[in-house]
Amino acid sequence: MNDTSATGRKTIAVNKRARFDYHIEERFEAGLALQGWEVKSLREGRVQFADSYVLLKDREAYLFGCQISPLPTVSTHIEPDPLRTRKLLLHRRQIDQLIGAVERKGYALIPTAMYWTRGKAKVEIGLARGKRQHDKRKTIKERDWEREKGRILKRG
């Protein structure tokens, strides 16, 4: 899962579930306040954040539900908490914009990807609106059609 694209980003994890469950309208890049053992675990790709979400509290952003599994060799002297709440690092203007969208317009904040940029762990946050059941069925139908179209073109 470690691919480097033209932007110089090295992907750690992607939340595929987010694109299925939500219409993502805008994306923000946020830094992540981590402890040392978490950084080492991220370098090994030991992260799961399919069920995670972002909460805004006291004009700060926090990442909830992101599980970073500790490496057995690194965390011998401390008691690591794999599900601890992690602070997201955003500019004040970005936080104010997100607060406005979430409180007044009813959006949700969903982490869509985690990656390295110049040696720092970053999280891509999507300003999202939940999909209805018929939208999800439409997404499944389109995905199946693309797969079938690829098979037909491959055969012919």
* pLDDT in the model for residue 92: 92
- Identify residue 146 by its one-letter amino acid code: E
Distance of CA 146 to the CA centre of its chain: 25
For residue 94, CA distances in Å to 2, 30, 109, 112, 125 come to 28, 10, 13, 17, 11
Coil, helix or strand for 156?
coil
Contacts with 52 (C-beta within 8 Å, 6 or more apart), sequence order: 15, 63, 64, 65, 66, 111
pLDDT of residue 142: 86
pLDDT tens, position by position, 21-33: 778 888 999 999 9
Termini Cα distance of the chain? 32
> What residue ranges define each of the domains in the chain, with the CATH number in brackets?
10-131 (2.40.280.10)
- pLDDT tens-digit map of 65-120: 888 888 877 656 777 888 888 999 999 999 988 888 888 787 888 999 999 998 89
Distance CA(90)–CA(27), nearest Å, equals: 12
Residue 6 has pLDDT above 60, yes or no: no
